[in-house]
Amino acid sequence: SQQGEEDPQALSIQEGENATMNCSYKTSINNLQWYRQNSGRGLVHLILIRSNEREKHSGRLRVTLDTSKKSSSLLITASRAADTASYFCATGLTGANSKLTFGKGITLSVRP
């Protein structure tokens, strides 16, 4: 069963705008990760945030985690056409080498 639920399911923005994607989950987690998938290819890991962290940055990415609300958000600033992809949140229930449970995914379209 799916652990995460992202919203919105589809997002279309203009290049240069910020994109915010949200993810909710149901159980206690060890970490939450965001991945990008281009055109049905392999997934690329973007960022991982642990359950004891509240915010993390990586380049144009900012992820927040609210364990009390069981939710996370991924912000992509100054979006580019190359950011067009599907984005998935995934939760790890334990530490290293635990299996991941993926949300349904968000399709982001960035218009040039």
Partner 1 sequence: SAVISQKPSRDICQRGTSLTIQCQVDSQVTMMFWYRQQPGQSLTLIATANQGSEATYESGFVIDKFPISRPNLTFSTLTVSNMSPEDSSIYLCSVGQAGGGYGYTFGSGTRLTVV
Binding site for partner 1 (CB under 8 A): 2, 30-31, 33, 35, 40-48, 88, 90, 92, 95-105
Please give the structure tokens belonging to residue 104.
Answer: 């349904």
Cβ proximity to partner 1, 15 vs 61, nearer residue: 61
Does an H or E element contain 43, and which?
Answer: strand 43-50
- Least distance from partner 1 to the Cβ atom of residue 35, Å: 8
How far apart, in whole angstroms, are the C-alpha atoms of residue 46 and residue 85?
A: 12
The conformation of residue 98, written as its DSSP 8-state character, comes to P
- Least distance from partner 1 to the Cβ atom of residue 79, Å: 21
Cβ proximity to partner 1, 2 vs 18, nearer residue: 2
- Least distance from partner 1 to the Cβ atom of residue 104, Å: 5
| Cβ 89 vs Cβ 102: under 8 Å | yes
At 83, phi and psi to the nearest 5?
Answer: -80, -10
Cβ proximity to partner 1, 15 vs 53, nearer residue: 53
